[in-house]
Amino acid sequence: MDRSQAKQCAKELLKQMTVEEKIAQMVQVSYADVTREEALQWAKRGAGSFLHVLGDNAREIQKAAGQSRLGIPVIFGIDAIHGHGLNDHATIFPSQLASACGWDPESVRRMGEVTAREVATDGLHWTFSPVLCLGRDTRWGRVDETFGEDPYLAGELGAAIVRGYQGDDLADDEHILACAKHYLGYGEATGGRDSYDTEVTERKIREVFLPPFRKAVEAGCATIMTAYGSIDGVPLTASRRLMHDILRDELGFDGFVVTDWDNMNNLRNRQMVSTDLSDAAVKTANAGNDMIMVSLEFYEAMLQAVQEGKADMASIDEAVTHILTIKYEMGLFEKPEKTGKPGCFGCEEHLDAALDTSRKSVTMLKNEGMLPLGDGIRRVAVIGANADDVHAQYGDWTYFTHPRPDPEHTPVRPYVTLWEGIRAICERRGIEAVYEKGCSVLPDDGDDLEAAVRAASSADVIVYAVGDVIAQFGETHDRADLNLSGRQYELFRRLKETGKPVCTVLIASKPLCLNETAEQADAVLCGFNGGMFGGQALAEAIFGELNPSGRLPISFPRHSGQLPVYYSQLPGWHGGKYCDLPDSPLYAFGEGMGFSAFTYSGLTVDDDLLLTVDVTNTGRTAGKETIQVYFRDDVSSLVTPVRRLIAFTQADLMPGETRRVSIQLNKESFALIDQNCETAVEPGTFTVYAGHSSKEEDLLSTSIVL
């Protein structure tokens, strides 16, 4: 059933509904926070959705919903953020941030497709993904959930995963609803403070934070989730300007909007903009929120508001119509339960997809001849807690962390940690491998630096894993200090004193201040939260079985006080740097290397905005290059970024091969948002760049006139 037919059916059903049934449709119940009996009561009352309920429990609730007066089916939602990770037998992919290192929309689309199939096989309909916030302040606890710092890259990858989740037909058995979140500007909250106020103008919203959501809407994203925080003091939950006027009227969004966790109650309890629950309920509905996540008080509060004449029934009817339309479009009235593809959990196809994404995420940031490890290596020492910690490798949003923290949950195979990956390759090659934790990521009485140094001293090379752990990121876990915690720096210094080559490997949720662990290392690899096979992919890169092709979707600060260090800075800073730090990040957006080397020449942009450039593999190994295109508005009516990404593509090149790469640009890519919040391409000269990263020294440039 297409959207227009579904909407007509929804309107007909709406005519049959009582006020109580309409309001119940707007309620989403968290199964983890009610008893079984309470859940069944809500289903019979006509609750529109449940979340965090799996398998037979979901089937029981759906059966109860069918016994309500109108038998309207329930939509089941789940936080399937990088795979259906709340199910311990599901395929767990790299985090969004790690997957973004691949700069590969097709890989991300496939990640969404596999996740959708496994979610559907659990009988569920909806994932609260993708996150389209931008990770521009890395103190924020949820940077791992983003596609990085750039609106264009986030938009391309976000649209790809939406297509993977939803497919071509929402009613088929192997696809589910996507949910673009958190609308809007959530990751830019002042000081990197989760759910805090974001001090930006509407012009900045339109320029930086809205574009990824626009692309998600254009890709057909069926649902949107509102953010916790506020923009310039106006809670997102209560902003009709953003939620209705811009999202629906301008972007053309035609699905339904769900609040984030308990947003309605936050209006009264935390943000203090509502006098009581009834007022909070009315503001939430009037702003354009269709479904109210876990604020069960909404039901009685809105019913009271209706009885007192304070509620706008048009807003309620509109919300319920949006919800019912999606339910009809999904075919839930005929077939309430998704069947998915029985037996697909952990199947070869899905594991191959996860391994492929992990491999594409590996990003080499430094190599002074240490890698790949060759035939002369007889003994490898693997050091560091995160080298053999599947919790750290998986990151957030798995069965270890949600819906309730469960760190003691027995890890379910298959997965491969860095230590396991290195050990397996060493066994095949007849190399001895040893492992010592050395020190914990967090302060721990069990640290044993001496054992690590002894193991390293008798090895030919050292692989040293650094990073963070679950207690240091996620919701409510923002960090003021991005330095490596515990004794990780101290252990690195001790390892360097052995005189053996050291490869530092980052297994972490976000860019951390690596300092000497990067600057004095012989090689640096970034894995972020690499999923089931993150350790295997990193090990393959270390031994040259994989030529790393990852490129950073986010910049690395040298110091927490240097933030923000995202590449698209505005010009005009007196001095251009802090007096006690270099003017550059440690590693920049787009940066990454492999065992190949690439050069650029012959950049041109013709009158039709067709960009062409010659790319040559000057190395001895076949490799993949990501060609990145940026521009600068040379003179404009407003201050504009020094560079902005507008296109990218990838090319696989054999050693010595030169390829003429063409990328079609469009005039709209050069637009700015003017003082009236209008999109405009101002006439004048523009500098167009193409090359290896966002760093000016990695780019060719040419001038065009528009």
Domain edges within the chain:
3-80+110-131+153-185+206-329, 362-562, 598-705
Distance CA 543, CA 373 (A): 5
Dihedral sign from CA coordinates of 379, 448, 501, 597: positive
* pLDDT surpasses 90 at 372: yes
pLDDT-based confidence at residue 531 (cuts at 50, 70, 90): very high
Closest to 285 measured CA to CA, from 260, 319, 310: 319
Structure tokens at 117: 């199939």
Which pLDDT tens digit goes with each residue over 425-460?
999 999 999 999 999 999 998 899 999 999 999 999
* pLDDT surpasses 90 at 188: yes
Which pLDDT tens digit goes with each residue over 310-350?
999 999 999 999 999 999 999 999 999 999 999 999 999 99
Edge-first strand order for the sheet with 432-436 is 363-367, 523-526, 502-507, 461-467, 379-383, 432-436
The 3-state secondary structure of 420-458 reads HHHHHHHHHHCCEEEEECCCCCCCCCCCCHHHHHHHHHC
Mean pLDDT of 202-207: 97
Helix pair angle (277-287, 313-329), 10° resolution? 60
pLDDT-based confidence at residue 181 (cuts at 50, 70, 90): very high
**Which has more confidence, 401 or 404?**
401
* pLDDT surpasses 90 at 646: yes
Closest to 103 measured CA to CA, from 358, 361, 356: 361
Q: What pLDDT is recorded for position 375?
A: 87
Distance CA 427, CA 26 (A): 57
Q: What pLDDT is recorded for position 560?
A: 97
CB neighbours (10 Å) of residue 480?
10
Q: What pLDDT is recorded for position 446?
A: 87
Query: What is the percentage of the chain residues whose pLDDT exceeds 70?
Result: 100
* pLDDT surpasses 90 at 55: no
Chain-wide mean pLDDT for the chain?
97
pTM (two decimals)? 0.98
Mean pLDDT of 617-628: 97
Phi, psi (degrees; rounded to nearest 5) at 228: -70, -40
Q: What pLDDT is recorded for position 408?
A: 94
Q: What pLDDT is recorded for position 54?
A: 86
Q: What pLDDT is recorded for position 564?
A: 95
CATH of 3-80+110-131+153-185+206-329, one of 3.50.40.10, 1.10.260.40, 3.20.20.300, 2.60.120.560: 3.20.20.300
Distance of CA 331 to the CA centre of its chain: 29
Fold of the 598-705 domain: Immunoglobulin-like (2.60.40)
Q: What pLDDT is recorded for position 388?
A: 98
* pLDDT surpasses 90 at 534: yes
Structure tokens at 604: 């041109």
Fold of the 362-562 domain: Rossmann fold (3.40.50)
Q: What pLDDT is recorded for position 202?
A: 96
Q: Which residues, in sequence order, are bridge partners of residue 258?
A: 225, 291
Which pLDDT tens digit goes with each residue over 65-124?
999 999 999 999 999 999 999 999 999 999 999 999 999 999 999 999 999 999 999 999
Q: What pLDDT is recorded for position 16?
A: 98
Mean pLDDT of 590-604: 98
Q: What pLDDT is recorded for position 445?
A: 82
Which pLDDT tens digit goes with each residue over 649-678?
999 999 999 999 999 999 999 999 999 999
Q: Do domains 362-562 and 598-705 have the same CATH topology?
A: no
Helix pair angle (449-457, 488-496), 10° resolution? 30
* pLDDT surpasses 90 at 211: yes
Dihedral sign from CA coordinates of 516, 518, 523, 525: positive
Mean pLDDT of 474-493: 97
Mean pLDDT of 233-251: 97
Query: What is the percentage of the chain residues whose pLDDT exceeds 90?
Result: 99
* pLDDT surpasses 90 at 10: yes
